[in-house]
Amino acid sequence: MLSVSWRKPLDAEIGVTIKGYIFIIADRCKGCGFCIEFCPKEVLAFSDDLNPKGYHPPIVVKDKLVDCENCQLCQIICPDFAIYNLSKEEYQKQLKDKQVKKPTIPEKPIEENKPSKIKIAKTKI
């Protein structure tokens, strides 16, 4: 029987992976937890703080950002587009061009996000 031997990559000891930055727009988050559940490196966790909607948005676990492989699974799976990733190169370029936006600033003031009053018409039976 023929045995198969796989060749080891030359840079196996280095562990080259593209690292990135995670940006969370807390005001958009509804606390579904998909990003936390499906993160392969367990980089995200629920925050103790509440957003204006009353949900616990995710946060990056302390000292775990270095474990993020920038797979962008959290960005893909988020139904509210409340999280996105930038590779280290993209982040540095946007920082240099001053295009990086602070993701924690709400797009609209909280008062504008309140639902309008609904009038119910009374009918006689």
The pTM (predicted TM-score) of the whole model is: 0.62
Tell me the two tokens of residue 27.
Answer: 């005001």
Per-residue confidence (pLDDT) for residue 115, from 0 to 100: 43
For residues 109 and 105, what is the distance between their CA atoms, to the nearest angstrom? 10
Non-local (6+) Cβ contacts of 47 within 8 A are 26, 56, 57, 58, 59
Task: Give yes or no for residue 103 having a pLDDT over 70.
Answer: no
Per-residue confidence (pLDDT) for residue 58, from 0 to 100: 94
CA nearest 45: which of 11, 74, 87? Answer: 74
| CATH, domain range 20-105 | 3.30.70.20
Task: Give yes or no for residue 41 having a pLDDT over 80.
Answer: yes
Per-residue confidence (pLDDT) for residue 54, from 0 to 100: 93
Strand partners, 10: none
Per-residue confidence (pLDDT) for residue 122, from 0 to 100: 52
- Residue that wins the pLDDT comparison between 17 and 75: 75
